[in-house]
Amino acid sequence: MDKGKMFETLIEKVEAMLKSEEPNRKKLKVICRLLKNNIPGYDWIGFYLVDPNNERELIIGPYVGEPTEHVRIPFGQGVCGRAADLGETVIVSDVSKEDNYLACSTKVKSEIVLPIFKKGKLIGELDIDSHQQSAFDDADKKYLLKICELASELI
């Protein structure tokens, strides 16, 4: 199946799941699980949320994958902190070539971080790690930004 079809099916599943009565944090976790189970090469998927008490810091939210020590990330630090600072998507094709990078696992080879906005304000991020190099391209970015738009309603 091509990537477009795969994501379109996934987005339909996310939209259907959003109609359930589950709490929002649970729904964020289900989005992570749907991404992991439906898109090959997505190995760690999680949300980071802007700390309401310190708007220059991210706190880890719902995720699926191995536990990480990076539960709080100041803006500017690592790929997540950089995406938060820029308010833009950051794609790293080869994390071994990245100076400003916070390693979670030696298995991770590439990463994408997408900002989540609500009413023009950054409220969080979607972070995905892959054990494959160059796992993310503009198609991933396009569809994942749609997922971020849906997720913004849950934060």
Residues 90 to 109 in contact with ligand SME, rule: CB under 6 A = 101-102, 104
Choices 16-24, 34-42, 76-84, 130-138 (CB under 6 A): range interacting with ligand SME: 76-84
Q: Tell me which stretch binds ligand SME (CB under 6 A): 8-16, 21-29, 31-39, 78-86.
A: 78-86
CA 146 from centre of chain: 12
**Residue 92 CB, nearest approach to ligand SME (Å):** 8
C-beta pairs of 130-134 under 8 Å, 24+ apart in sequence: 130/41, 130/42, 130/43, 131/41, 131/43, 131/107, 132/41, 133/93, 133/94, 133/109, 134/93, 134/94, 134/110
Q: What minimum distance in Å lies between the beta carbon of 111 and ligand SME?
A: 6
Nearer to ligand SME, 83 or 147 (CB): 83
- Residue 16, Cβ density class (10 Å: 0-12 exposed, 13-18 middle, ≥19 buried): exposed
Q: Does the protein bind ligand SME through residue 129 (CB under 6 A)?
A: yes
| Site size for ligand SME (CB under 6 A) | 15
Angle at the Cα of 124 from the Cα atoms of 108 and 143, rounded to 5 degrees: 65
Query: Which residue lies nearer to ligand SME by CB, 34 or 79?
Result: 79
Counting contacts by CB under 6 A, is residue 127 touching ligand SME? yes
Binder among 14, 50, 61, 111 for ligand SME (CB under 6 A): 111
Contact (CB, 8 A) for 150 and 24: no
Question: Distance (Å, rounded) from C-alpha 63 to C-alpha 69?
Answer: 13
Interface ranges with ligand SME (CB under 6 A): 44, 46, 68, 70, 73, 78-81, 101-102, 104, 111, 127, 129
